[in-house]
Amino acid sequence: MQELTHYINGEHVKGTSGRFADVYNPATGEVQAKCPLASTAEMEKAVEIAAAAQPAWAATNPQRRARVMMKFVALLNRDMDKLAEALSREHGKTLPDAAGDVQRGLEVVEYCIGAPQMLKGEFTDSAGPGIDMYSMRQALGVTAGITPFNFPAMIPMWMFAPAIACGNAFILKPSERDPSVPLMLAELMEEAGLPKGILQVVNGDKEAVDAILYNDTIQSVGFVGSTPIAEYIYGTGCSQGKRVQCFGGAKNHMIIMPDADMDQAADALVGAGYGAAGERCMAISVAVPVGEETADRLIEKLVPRVEALKVGPYTAGNDVDYGPVVTGAAKQNILNLVQSGIDQGAKLVVDGRDFSLQGYEEGFFVGAHLFDNVTKDMDIYKKEIFGPVLSTVRAQTYEEAIGLAMDHEYGNGTAIFTRDGDTARDFANRINIGMVGVNVPIPVPLAYHTFGGWKKSAFGDLNQHGPDAFKFYTRTKTITARWPSGIKEGGEFSIPVME
Ligand code: NAD
């Protein structure tokens, strides 16, 4: 059995707590590795190392820091296949999807090559007689991030690339379910020229997370994961005086207007609903066709597409649409929710419950499910399922459809499919959701825009990547300077005001 490590001060370090988490091969159901779960003392040690290394890194010319990012991009491209394979092996997603996971992280690293431009600050010449005023963005110090299992490459990079480009040290606490790729990323950053101690990976569970939250040296915490944990980390982190941003769960609605191209909408729904086995925070989990006739046409188009989905292990190559879910517990949770949908009166038009794959009977595969006639009060509508289950809620009018999405507690992403610009524009303006697609089912913004939901999908006022990341990972300091010629005029005893 492989024993995974932490990555501390440039070394792979074995865990000393004696506690481990099982890392599965989701395709076979076997435990393939043990992930060490750090104690508070192990986390504190990493923080001390980070604090010692960070000042020299912050004092390094920002262009030199950016060159590390440049080299890191080259190394990610060099090792893309290796990273994707390691990612699929622990997560279960297909190889092209795993490469996409690395790629969407890489794009944020590319954006961070422009950090010197983002960090330039502001300057006012002659803000007063002989006075100059300037603002600079300074690194926070030691920063930390806690990441989910579903994007083990992308989300760590979304956090550590801007943090480190800004001159911070970063401690990554990745998901204990698929920790190998984060460890590989830390190695690659060092190969790219990053000094030891600036990026460390400390594996763990709640104990490691609490060790981050209650550590006085750590200045900021980024979190991505489920909403209850996001709320806990946001509340605790803020009460400890840290800068915190937390991104939580989702229930993304796609509205299909009667004038939409129904083939396009059905294709989009199948990709967005079932890709990565539905384990994406931007997956579409609710289809809202407007009008009975639209709903009937949509279901007619969806059923054969959903039935034709190919489910299998990543090793089967490109002939697989999605793989297993991450653990047996996740599979059981999905199947329980499917049962609750049936019990509460939804119509299961594609039933994946009996899905089984020869040779992989113990794997965590879940067949594709499609529900029709789902209503607002059902658990499958209210809860995030995070599996290959698409719920159809029939709305009679556009107002009812937009109201559904607006009233849901989550507000990560949404989409509308229509040919009518006026409807699309109205939807984009009124909807209380952070990321909106118009005829685009998964509207994940590119690296130079920002990513973040509203309502119970995000806590904190700055988004991930884009310009917000440079604000989150720096503090503004504003200097008002007058040089000695002004001082000879003597002291001033009233507050200075502009005349
Ligand atoms: P999770 O909340 O179970 O775990 C996320 C992280 O929190 C992990 O590192 C885990 O070790 C840690 N953690 C778990 N329980 C904890 C506890 N009790 N105390 C402290 N820390 C704890 O989430 P997950 O299952 O890994 O990921 C799936 C969830 O993440 C879904 O809800 C999905 O919507 C969400 N997600 C959101 C976004 C977004 O940008 N909004 C992106 C990806 C995933």
Task: Report the pLDDT averaged over residues 185-199.
Answer: 98
Name beta bridge partners: 6.
13
The pair of three-digit structure tokens given for residue 165, joined into one six-digit string = 């480009």
- Residue 386 CB less than 6 A away from ligand 1: yes
pLDDT at 3: 98
pLDDT at 21: 98
- The answer on pLDDT for 311 being more than 90 is yes
How far is the centre of ligand 1, averaged over its atoms, from the C-alpha of 262 (Å)? 34
- What is the separation of C-alpha 340 from the centre of its chain, rounded to a whole number of angstroms? 28
- Measure the CA–CA gap between 188 and 68, rounded to whole angstroms: 10
Give the mean pLDDT of the chain. 97
Query: Hey, whose CA ends up nearest to atom 36 of ligand 1?
Result: 225
Pairing of the two strands 389-392 and 435-438: unpaired
- Residue 457 CB less than 6 A away from ligand 1: yes
pLDDT at 420: 98
- Residue 453 CB less than 6 A away from ligand 1: yes
pTM for the predicted model, two decimal places: 0.96
Atom in ligand 1 nearest the alpha carbon of residue 205: 11
How far is the centre of ligand 1, averaged over its atoms, from the C-alpha of 85 (Å)? 22
Pairing of the two strands 6-8 and 11-13: antiparallel
Burial 18-31 (b: 16+ CB within 10 A, else e): eebbebbbbbbbee
The pair of three-digit structure tokens given for residue 441, joined into one six-digit string = 């089912």
Task: Report the pLDDT averaged over residues 433-460.
Answer: 98
- The answer on pLDDT for 26 being more than 70 is yes
Q: 63 burial class (0-12, 13-18, 19+ CB within 10 angstroms)?
A: exposed
| 158-167 tens-digit pLDDT | 999 999 999 9
The pair of three-digit structure tokens given for residue 115, joined into one six-digit string = 């950090």
Query: Hey, whose CA ends up nearest to atom 42 of ligand 1?
Result: 281
pLDDT at 495: 81
Query: Hey, whose CA ends up nearest to atom 40 of ligand 1?
Result: 247
How far is the centre of ligand 1, averaged over its atoms, from the C-alpha of 158 (Å)? 15
- Measure the CA–CA gap between 374 and 382, rounded to whole angstroms: 10
- The answer on pLDDT for 217 being more than 70 is yes
- Residue 21 CB less than 6 A away from ligand 1: no
Separation of first and last alpha carbons in the chain: 75
pLDDT at 485: 64
| 121-155 tens-digit pLDDT | 999 999 998 899 999 999 999 999 999 999 999 99
Task: Report the pLDDT averaged over residues 171-176.
Answer: 98
- The answer on pLDDT for 345 being more than 70 is yes
Do 180 and 33 form a contact (C-beta atoms < 8 A)? yes
Closest CA to 341 of 355, 352, 326: 352
Please indicate whether residue 281 is annotated as part of the active site: yes
| 62-81 tens-digit pLDDT | 999 999 999 999 999 999 99
| 460-487 tens-digit pLDDT | 999 999 999 999 999 999 999 998 765 5
- Residue 207 CB less than 6 A away from ligand 1: no
- Residue 176 CB less than 6 A away from ligand 1: yes
pLDDT at 488: 56
| 346-386 tens-digit pLDDT | 999 999 999 999 999 999 999 999 999 999 999 999 999 99
How far is the centre of ligand 1, averaged over its atoms, from the C-alpha of 224 (Å)? 6
pLDDT at 169: 99
Domains, the chain, ordered by start: 2-248+457-481 (3.40.605.10), 252-438 (3.40.309.10)
Q: How confident is the model at residue 186 (pLDDT cuts 50, 70, 90)?
A: very high
- Residue 423 CB less than 6 A away from ligand 1: no
How far is the centre of ligand 1, averaged over its atoms, from the C-alpha of 245 (Å)? 13
Q: How confident is the model at residue 489 (pLDDT cuts 50, 70, 90)?
A: low
Task: Report the pLDDT averaged over residues 196-210.
Answer: 98
Substitution site in 151, 178, 205, 384 for ligand 1 pocket (most atoms within 8 Å of beta carbon): 205
